[in-house]
């Protein structure tokens, strides 16, 4: 692969990991995980990420060298890049639209025990404007999520899906950040 191709590949991965973290920080709206943990394939456009979660922690990885570890209790995520030997830790925004003055969250049944959650903002004109929605499985795992991407050229909805979901116990040790990494901002 050319240096340009490698750079673009890395840039796209970082973009996708960032979009993924924003989508996860938007809402943990499915509620508490009702299983001991799960693994899944998360799709964001053409990008495929491996996800491992146990309810307290989540690891979202493009490969063994680039991944994000989220601690939902502390509301913190660590972006790890082993190819560069770095880790960046940052606070995630408060989860969900709760507490936002012009925000709304609607929960409706989606069949088969699933729940659809729509999040949005209410404009000055009083009209509701959706900014995202999530379909939650009965076990608390999100199946799909759509969110508004504010592209100056053309705002659009982006869909994130999870497939190949396998439930089972995932120990906290699966979410440890390797030692010896340089902390960056």
* Total number of domains in the chain: 1
For the stretch 3-20, pLDDT in tens is 434 433 443 344 444 444
* In-domain check, residue 145: yes
pLDDT tens per residue across span 105-124: 888 999 999 999 988 888 88
CA distance 134 to 136: 6
Q: Is the dihedral angle over the CA atoms 75, 79, 80, 85 positive or is it negative?
A: negative
pLDDT band at 156 (very low <50, low <70, confident <90, very high): confident
* In-domain check, residue 178: no
Average pLDDT, integer, range 129-154: 85
Task: Give per-residue pLDDT as tens, 40-55.
Answer: 999 988 889 999 999 8
Residue 31 lies in a domain: yes
pLDDT of residue 58: 92
- Entry pTM: 0.73
Any domain includes 144 = yes
DSSP state of 30: T
Instruction: Give the sheet arrangement for strand 156-167, strand by strand.
Output: 103-109, 115-122, 128-136, 142-149, 156-167, 38-44, 47-53, 57-61, 66-71, 76-81, 86-91, 182-183
- Paired tokens of 15: 């973009």
Dist. CA 74–CA 50, nearest whole Å: 22
Pick the residue with more confidence: 153 or 160?
160
Residue 103, in any domain of the structure: yes
Residue 135 banded pLDDT, cuts 50, 70, 90: very high
Separation of alpha carbons 72 and 173, rounded Å: 15
What pLDDT digit, counting tens, does each position of 57-101 carry? 999 999 999 999 999 888 899 999 999 999 999 987 654 444 456
Helix (H/G/I), strand (E/B), else coil: 12: helix
Asked whether residue 133 is domain-assigned, the answer is yes
**What pLDDT score does 8 carry?**
38
Q: Which domain holds residue 67?
A: 3-173
Alpha helix (H) ranges present in the chain? 3-26
The pair of three-digit structure tokens given for residue 128, joined into one six-digit string = 């509701």
Provide the pLDDT for residue 29. 66
**CATH number of the domain bearing residue 113:** 2.50.20
Please report the pLDDT score of residue 28 as a whole number: 56
């Amino acid at each position: 692969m050319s240096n340009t191709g490698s750079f673009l590949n890395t840039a796209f991965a970082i973009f996708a990991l960032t979009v993924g973290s924003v989508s996860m920080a938007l809402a943990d709206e499915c509620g508490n995980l009702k299983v001991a943990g799960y693994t899944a394939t998360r799709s964001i456009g053409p990008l495929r990420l491996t996800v491992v979660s146990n309810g307290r922690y989540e690891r979202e990885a493009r490969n063994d060298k680039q991944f994000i570890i989220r601690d939902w209790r502390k509301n913190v995520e660590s972006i790890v890049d082993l190819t560069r030997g770095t880790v960046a830790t940052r606070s995630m925004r408060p989860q969900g639209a709760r507490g936002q003055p012009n925000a709304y969250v609607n929960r409706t049944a989606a069949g088969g025990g699933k729940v659809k959650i729509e999040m949005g903002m209410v404009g000055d004109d009083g009209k509701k404007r959706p900014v995202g929605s999530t379909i939650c499985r009965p076990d608390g795992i999100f199946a799909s999520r759509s969110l508004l991407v504010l592209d100056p050229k053309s705002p659009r909805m982006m869909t994130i899906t999870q497939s190949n979901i396998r439930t089972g116990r995932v120990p906290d040790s699966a979410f440890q950040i390797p030692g010896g990494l340089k902390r960056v901002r």
